[in-house]
Each structure stands twice: as structure tokens, then as C-alpha cells.
Chain A
């Protein structure tokens, strides 16, 4: 039982390049999330998916797109990377326990855009 896995762990991009961050969970969770973490800012929600086939914008969606490929996988794409997107990106998932939504986090992807 791996929980939430993310690839890659580290990435360096040049401004304007594109890339996709991959996330998968093996807990049969319905909901998945993408966050970014910046110093002093806590975690900010980029996009989320409440169930397979649905996605919604969070607080900071500009410059990103997502795909909920199936129940297990939720990818985040940067079409044209900018230095402001240098951050640590976390994927998370949560299941249904009544109304108590505990989120389980992946180890993160550390992205630097030069």
C-alpha cells in the first residue's frame, strides 16, 4: 500500500517549457487535490477533483491545467512555465468518511523554473 505517489521528485525547467506532474493513489479515494507550498504562504489549493470526471479551480489556478485520468490518477500540467511557479507541489487525496475528510499527501515535487 503505497498511499499517494508523485513523480518526479525534483525538476528544473527553463521559462516557457512545459511539463506534467504525475500523481497516483491506491486508497480508492474519490477526491484528489493539487497544492503548492511557498515559504510563509502555507499550502494553496491549485485544482481539485471531487470525483472521477470532474475538476474545479482552487485559489491559484492560473498557469495550470489538470486531468483526472481515472479514479487513481490526477495530473497537473504547466503549459508554459514561469519563475513564479517555482515551488513545492503536493498532491493529496481523501475518501468519504461521513463528512470527515482527512487528506493524505504525497512526498512532493520540488520545481525550479529559471
Chain B
């Protein structure tokens, strides 16, 4: 079946540090992969996505590359800011022909950035 495993948090960094949040997945076929971000007291927002192997999603300085050979989609940012403090969720969608639109989420990783 489909599942997502994220590194456990919390992750605490100083401003301008390099960020990596690991995400690996198990899926049948050709899923799309997503990173969502949840700021305190809010719903989830799409941060970036990749739809096929070797695609790189990027947004707001964050990047993640769809690696089919290692079944991974690690989130990276070269220099984090205090405003990046949030919970980050890795997710995958079902394959074509599967239950359309359903997402499978990891457990989330809490990131705190100190000035």
C-alpha cells in the first residue's frame, strides 16, 4: 500500500542554517509527491510538488527532488528564517487509476528556527 515516513522532530535550527527534512515513501505505480506546511493555528498549505521521477519542486527557497531509485523526497533549504518555523508534512497521491485525489501524509516534522 501507500505510506510516507518522515524524520521525527522536533528540528531546532539557528537562523541561516541549512535545513534537511527526510521523507521516504512506499507506493504502487507513479505517485505525485508533495510538501505541505502548517503555520501555527492554520490549515495546511501546499509548499511544493513533483509529479514524476527526477522532477525538482521548489518554492520560497525550499527544494525537493523526486528520487524514484531511493523512494525519497527530502526537503531542503539553504538558509532558514524565523518565519519558516512551522510543521512540515510530506505527502503522496495515488497512482493513476487509484482513488483519485486521495493524499497519504507523513506524521509531520516540527521546525523551530531561533534568531
A and B: bona fide binding partners: yes
Binding site for B on A (CB under 8 A): 4, 30-31, 33, 40-45, 48, 50, 56, 58, 90, 92, 94, 99-108
- Among residues of A, the one whose C-beta sits closest to the C-beta of B8 is A40
Distance between Cα atoms of A40 and B96 in the complex (Å): 30
Contacts of B108 in A (CB 8 A): 42
B102 touches A48 (CB 8 A): yes
Residues on B with C-beta less than 8 A from A101 are: 32, 93, 100-103
CA distance in complex: A48, B101 (Å): 9
Bound Cα distance A11, B11 (Å): 31
Category for how many chain B residues contact A: 20 to 34
B104 to chain A: closest residue by CB? A45
15 contacts between A and B (CB under 8 A): A4-B43, A41-B107, A42-B105, A42-B107, A42-B108, A43-B89, A44-B105, A45-B102, A48-B99, A50-B100, A56-B99, A99-B96, A100-B51, A103-B103, A107-B43
Cβ of B17 < 8 Å from any Cβ of A? Answer: no
Interface 1/0 per residue, B72-115 and A, CB below 8 Å = 00000000000000000100010010011111011110000000
Q: Is the CB of B46 within 8 A of A103?
A: yes
- From A41, A43, A102, give the contact of B49 (CB < 8 A): A102
Q: How far apart are the CA atoms of A6 and B110 in the complex, in Å?
A: 24
Nearest Cβ distance between residue A109 and chain B, in whole angstroms? 10
**Chain A nearest Cβ from B37, distance in angstroms:** 11
Q: Is the CB of A100 within 8 A of B43?
A: no
User: Quick check: B89 and A106 within 8 Å, CB to CB?
Assistant: no
Looking across the interface, which residue of chain A has its beta carbon closest to that of B42?
A107
Q: Which residues of B sit under 8 angstroms from A94, Cβ to Cβ?
A: 101
Instruction: Give the chain B neighbours of A50 by CB distance below 8 A.
Output: 99-101
Contacts A40-B107, A100-B32, A108-B42 aside, 4 further interface pairs with beta carbons under 8 A come to: A42-B105, A42-B108, A48-B102, A100-B49
